[in-house]
Amino acid sequence: MRLSTAKNIVKRAIKAQLDLAKNPDASDSRAIVPYLQGKVGIGKSSTVHQAAFELGKELGVKIYVQMISLAQYDPAEIAGWLLPNDDKTAMIRIKPDWLEPEGDYDVIVYFFDELPQAIVANQNIAGQVFQEKRIGSFKLPVNSALVAAGNRTADRAGTNPIPSQLKDRLAFLNMTESLNDTVAHFIEIFVNEKIVAFLGFKPDLLHRFDPDEDVFPTPRAWERVSEVLSWGLPALEERETLNGIIGAVATTEFYAFLAVYDVVPNIDDLIKNPMSAIVPDRADVVYAVCASLGAKANADNIGNIVKYIGRLDADEYGAFVIKGAFDKIPNARQNKHLREWAENGGGAQLLL
End-to-end CA distance of the chain: 19
Side-chain half-sphere exposure of 324, counting CA atoms within 13 A: 30
- Among the residues of 259-312, which ranges form H helices? 267-272, 283-296, 302-309
pLDDT digits (tens, 9 = 90+) for 96-150: 999 988 888 999 999 999 999 999 999 999 999 999 999 988 999 999 999 999 9
Phi, psi of 7 (to 5 degrees): -60, -45
Residues 245, 221 contacting (CB under 8 angstroms): yes
Residues 175, 1 contacting (CB under 8 angstroms): yes
What's the confidence (pLDDT) of residue 340? Answer: 83
- Taken in order of first residue, the domains within the chain and their CATH numbers are 3-174 (3.40.50.300), 179-351 (no CATH)
What's the confidence (pLDDT) of residue 120? Answer: 93
> Is residue 101 helix, strand or coil?
coil
What's the confidence (pLDDT) of residue 352? Answer: 45
% of the chain residues with pLDDT over 70: 96
What's the confidence (pLDDT) of residue 96? Answer: 92
pLDDT digits (tens, 9 = 90+) for 141-158: 999 999 999 988 777 767
**pLDDT tier at 28, thresholds 50, 70, 90:** low
Q: What is the pTM of this model?
A: 0.77
Side-chain half-sphere exposure of 31, counting CA atoms within 13 A: 28
**pLDDT tier at 29, thresholds 50, 70, 90:** low
How many CB atoms within 10 Å of residue 198? 27
pLDDT at 348 over 60: no
What's the confidence (pLDDT) of residue 150? Answer: 93
- What gap in Å lies between CA 289 and CA 194, rounded to an integer? 10
Specify the DSSP class assigned to residue 144.
E
What's the confidence (pLDDT) of residue 202? Answer: 87
Characterize the bridge pairing of strands 107-113 and 63-69.
parallel
- What is the Cα Rg of the chain in Å? 24
For residue 92, CA distances in Å to 76, 87, 189, 259 come to 12, 12, 46, 65
Specify the DSSP class assigned to residue 278.
-
Average pLDDT, integer, range 288-317: 88
Average pLDDT, integer, range 166-188: 90
